[in-house]
Amino acid sequence: MRLLTLLLPLLVATPAVAVEDLPRFKIDYYLYAYSDTTGEHKQARLNVIHYLSGVRDHLWWECEYEVTIEQLLMGANMQIKAARMTMEDKAFDKFTADTAFGDMVFISLHNEALYEKPEPCSKKRATIGSKMRKASPELEEFIDGLIRRAAAKHYHPTIFIDMRQKYGTVSAISRLVRSGDLQSGFTRLRRLELLDWTIEAAVERFPNEFNVNDRECAAFRLRQARQEDRNA
């Protein structure tokens, strides 16, 4: 009680700016941190580690989800590498300057194969959303149209078609969108000028049928592709 009495004036007196004195850093800051071994680079690296420590602790507090800082780094690196492989130098430079490093970390958490377990809080979300997994007739019609348009250009998304039959339309889309990898189907449809007929576009068009993680992953992939197209 005495300790609380001593601390209370300090808490009240702390300026609000102290709560937000570290802005969200971008991917280019992360790349800079690991590009050299000077004192400044080491300090930047320490900031990255502190950030990832906070992510790790939050995941445990929120979902009792165990993950290491090394795994989080690996996941973020995989996302950045995937972006690097699909972008020209100029587009990639803009991407790293505009995109928060945290986006790469949290999107990577949907990659169940990398972490060898379901994504954080998946049991909680499954319980809450178990009665909302049936696709609307409009979404089913959109997906049927996707398959027809792809077939007209001699592409047959057999993996998705099989998953749709096995899991249902919404669950199949959700699993693929949240996989963390750049899907070959997305790349193929984009090359066929069918970006607006990808499963990511389905999530964008029917947002109420998907959870926030599905929407974030789909939006990120579409935003990245559209930015590349504008810069081409």
Evaluate the CA torsion angle 149, 227, 105, 191 in order and state its sign.
positive
Q: Residue 148: which residues within 8 A CB-CB, separation 6 or more? A: none
- For residue 232, is it within any domain? yes
Domain residue limits at 215: 130-232
Residues comprising the chain, all counted: 232
Region of 121 please: left (phi>0), alpha (psi -120 to 50) or beta: left
Residues 155 and 214 in one domain: yes
Return the amino acid letter for 5. Answer: T
Helices 89-98 and 69-86 sit at what angle, rounded to 10 degrees? 140
- For residue 16, is it within any domain? no
Residues 111 and 168 in one domain: no
Question: pLDDT band for position 18 (50/70/90)?
Answer: very low
- For residue 4, is it within any domain? no
- For residue 179, is it within any domain? yes
* Number of neighbours of residue 82 by Cβ within 10 angstroms: 17
Least Cα distance to 28 among 91, 97, 78 occurs for: 97
Region of 24 please: left (phi>0), alpha (psi -120 to 50) or beta: beta
Q: Which of 81, 97, 119 is the last residue of a domain?
A: 119
Q: Please, what is the average pLDDT of the chain?
A: 80
Q: For residues 124 and 231, what is the distance between their CA atoms, to the nearest angstrom?
A: 40
Render pLDDT for 111-143 as a digit per residue (tens, 0 to 9).
766 777 777 765 554 444 444 468 999 999 999
Q: Which of 69, 95, 119 is the last residue of a domain?
A: 119
- For residue 9, is it within any domain? no
Per the DSSP assignment, residues forming a β-bridge with 160 are none
pLDDT value for 224: 87
* Number of neighbours of residue 121 by Cβ within 10 angstroms: 16
Check whether 15 has a pLDDT greater than 90. Answer: no
How many structural domains comprise the chain? 2
Check whether 175 has a pLDDT greater than 90. Answer: no
Render pLDDT for 188-231 as a digit per residue (tens, 0 to 9).
898 899 999 999 999 999 999 998 888 888 898 899 888 888 88
119 contacts 66 by C-beta, under 8 angstroms: no
Q: Which of 69, 89, 119 is the last residue of a domain?
A: 119
SS3 of residue 192 by DSSP: coil
Least Cα distance to 195 among 146, 232, 151 occurs for: 146
Full-model pTM: 0.50
Residues 179 and 227 in one domain: yes
